[in-house]
């Protein structure tokens, strides 16, 4: 009987010790939860800090006992407490050890918590650790340490794989670090998700592939972006540019014309059609310049000039239709003005290249150039009226006055342009 009594006594002592250690972990958890509640009110900040410090002390003490070490709750509490502490200072020498402890504890807690009983604590820890790395990543990005930023943002993304901010920042840092593979991987995961900046992601994906000379994928992402964001001018312009570059001008023009047929009151579609014609005119213009330098085939040069003029006329017509819908459409007014001014500038330059002996021809060409420039003038003035500080609009108007030889206006506009920040 005595032996049984002694044995029962030992078991009681052991049970009491075990209970004490479990109590310590539970107490640390309760104090951490008290901290969270008290920390929402400025009046109780001091009491909140006291609870967090006590939670820190108790969870450290609990880890000295083999019973506590075997409990998933111990590591969940430790991860949450240390992750919180890591966010309460800005000195990395102090915060990094706290972060590392929280990170290792979180790994163990996730592994041990097979039933999900400690999900709230684990999620709290993960959020603070992700925020820690987000802050580090932003600092690295601002310092142009893009590889370091990518590493920090990747940690954030690992904890929250479908977090759109994590995917965006990770892709952005990888892109800046010229790590195309990881940029594409992050952005590819982001595009199917609902993210406010996905229009810029489509543009970035197109840029990445264009830099790799992969025009097929560059066009693919520009076109997909246009389908989802039809009013995005940058994506539409990129689609047009690559289509022209790859010999698909007819395809893109048909696409825009079909869109116009479906939505004839959409001013932007007329503007994009104008851009397509303008881009085609620019491409023919390059061929024309080269032909004038290297060829004496007057017929071929005349054919190129006629083709360029036709594209410019069609472009101007599209811009005018956009303006009919919205007279204050800045981009359309500016583009109409520059498109109509382009032939005048060509004539003016050709006139100035004539020898002095051809004064009569010079006068006739300058007069023709001036007349053509006057057609552009209302649109050029309207663009400056709509956006007085637009450098492009001011330079277009300045070119008009150069063609018409109004040097007072040229000087005035030169001063305005120079004063722009």
Residues 293 and 388 in one domain: no
Domain-located, residue 51: yes
pLDDT tens, position by position, 18-70: 444 577 899 999 999 999 999 999 999 999 999 999 999 999 998 888 888 88
Residues 253 and 359 in one domain: no
Length, in residues, of the chain = 421
Residues 418 and 340 in one domain: yes
Least confident of 35-49, 209-223, 252-266, 322-336: 252-266
Closest C-alpha among 196, 195, 167, 192 to residue 182: 167
Residues 310 and 334 in one domain: no
Domain-located, residue 355: yes
Quick one: pLDDT at residue 255?
85
Mean pLDDT of 343-351: 91
How far apart CA 80 and CA 342 sit, in angstroms, is: 66
The boundaries of the domain holding residue 286 are 248-325
Distance of CA 410 to the CA centre of its chain: 38
Residues 267 and 310 in one domain: yes
Alpha carbon separation from 373 to 170, 339, 379, 404, 412 (Å, rounded): 50, 10, 11, 8, 19
Alpha carbon separation from 190 to 32, 170, 183, 230 (Å, rounded): 35, 10, 11, 19
End of a domain among 143, 158, 180?
143
CB atoms within 10 A of CB 205: 25
- Find the helix packing angle between 407-419 and 391-403, rounded to 10°: 160
Domain-located, residue 411: yes
How far apart CA 395 and CA 18 sit, in angstroms, is: 82
Domain-located, residue 282: yes
Alpha carbon separation from 407 to 346, 403, 411, 414 (Å, rounded): 19, 10, 6, 10
Mean pLDDT of 189-216: 95
Quick one: pLDDT at residue 22?
73
Closest C-alpha among 324, 235, 305 to residue 275: 235
CB 106 within 8 A of CB 66: no
Least confident of 119-133, 177-191, 201-215, 293-307: 293-307
Residues 308 and 421 in one domain: no
- Hey, what are 314's tokens? 């069609």
Residues 47 and 108 in one domain: yes
Mean model confidence pLDDT for the chain: 90
Domain-located, residue 110: yes
Residues 318 and 420 in one domain: no
Residues 28 and 131 in one domain: yes
Phi, psi angles (nearest 5°) of residue 265: -100, 10
Domain-located, residue 75: yes
Domain-located, residue 195: no
**Residues above pLDDT 70, as percent of the chain:** 95
C-alpha angle 376-381-384 in degrees, rounded to nearest 5? 130
Least confident of 4-18, 103-117, 328-342: 4-18
Higher pLDDT, 379 or 12: 379
CATH number at residue 384: 1.25.40
End of a domain among 86, 111, 143?
143
How far apart CA 68 and CA 225 sit, in angstroms, is: 54
Residues 363 and 252 in one domain: no
End of a domain among 279, 304, 325?
325
Residues 53 and 124 in one domain: yes
- Hey, what are 282's tokens? 């620019």
pLDDT tens, position by position, 383-400: 999 999 999 999 999 999
Long-range contact list for 208-214, CB < 8 A, 24+ apart? 208/175, 208/180, 208/183, 208/184, 210/242, 211/180, 212/180
The total number of structural domains that make up the chain:
3
Residues 39 and 137 in one domain: yes
Mean pLDDT of 8-24: 49
Query: Running DSSP on this structure, what letter comes out for residue 160?
Result: S
- Hey, what are 10's tokens? 């030992």
How far apart CA 213 and CA 218 sit, in angstroms, is: 8
């Amino acid at each position: 009987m005595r032996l049984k009594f002694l044995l029962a006594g030992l078991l009681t002592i052991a049970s009491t010790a075990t209970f004490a250690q479990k109590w310590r972990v539970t107490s640390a958890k309760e104090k951490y939860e008290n901290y969270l509640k008290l920390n929402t009110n400025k009046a109780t900040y001091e009491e909140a800090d006291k609870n967090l410090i006590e939670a820190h002390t108790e969870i450290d003490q609990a880890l000295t006992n083999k019973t506590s070490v075997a409990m998933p709750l111990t590591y969940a509490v430790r991860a949450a407490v240390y992750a919180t502490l890591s966010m309460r200072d800005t000195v990395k020498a102090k915060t990094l050890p706290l972060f590392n402890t929280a990170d290792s504890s979180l790994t163990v807690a996730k592994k041990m918590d097979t039933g999900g009983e400690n999900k709230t604590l684990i999620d709290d820890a993960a959020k603070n650790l992700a925020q820690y790395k987000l802050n580090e990543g932003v600092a690295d990005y601002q310092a142009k340490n893009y590889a370091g930023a990518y590493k920090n943002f990747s940690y954030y993304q690992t904890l929250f794989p479908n977090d759109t901010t994590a995917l965006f920042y990770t892709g952005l840092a990888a892109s800046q670090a010229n790590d195309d593979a990881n940029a594409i991987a992050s952005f590819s995961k982001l595009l199917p998700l609902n993210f406010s900046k996905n229009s810029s992601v489509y543009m970035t994906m197109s840029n990445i592939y264009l830099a790799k000379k992969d025009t097929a994928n560059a066009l693919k992402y520009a076109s997909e972006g246009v389908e989802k964001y039809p009013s995005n001018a940058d994506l539409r312009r990129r689609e047009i540019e690559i289509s022209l570059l790859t010999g698909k001008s007819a395809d893109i023009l048909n696409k825009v014309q079909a869109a116009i047929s479906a939505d004839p009151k959409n001013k932007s579609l007329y503007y994009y059609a104008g851009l397509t014609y303008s881009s085609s005119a620019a491409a023919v213009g390059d061929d024309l310049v080269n032909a004038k330098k290297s060829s004496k085939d007057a017929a071929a040069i005349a054919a190129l000039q006629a083709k360029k003029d036709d594209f410019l006329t069609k472009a101007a017509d599209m811009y005018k239709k956009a303006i009919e819908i919205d007279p204050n459409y800045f981009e359309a007014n500016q583009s109409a003005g520059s498109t109509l001014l382009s032939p005048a500038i060509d004539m003016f330059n050709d006139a100035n290249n004539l020898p002095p002996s051809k004064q009569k021809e010079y006068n006739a060409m300058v007069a023709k150039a001036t007349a053509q420039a006057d057609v552009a003038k209302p649109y050029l003035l309207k663009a400056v009226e709509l956006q007085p500080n637009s450098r492009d609009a001011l330079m277009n108007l300045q070119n008009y006055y150069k063609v018409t030889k109004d040097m007072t206006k040229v000087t005035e506009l030169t001063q305005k342009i120079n004063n722009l920040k």
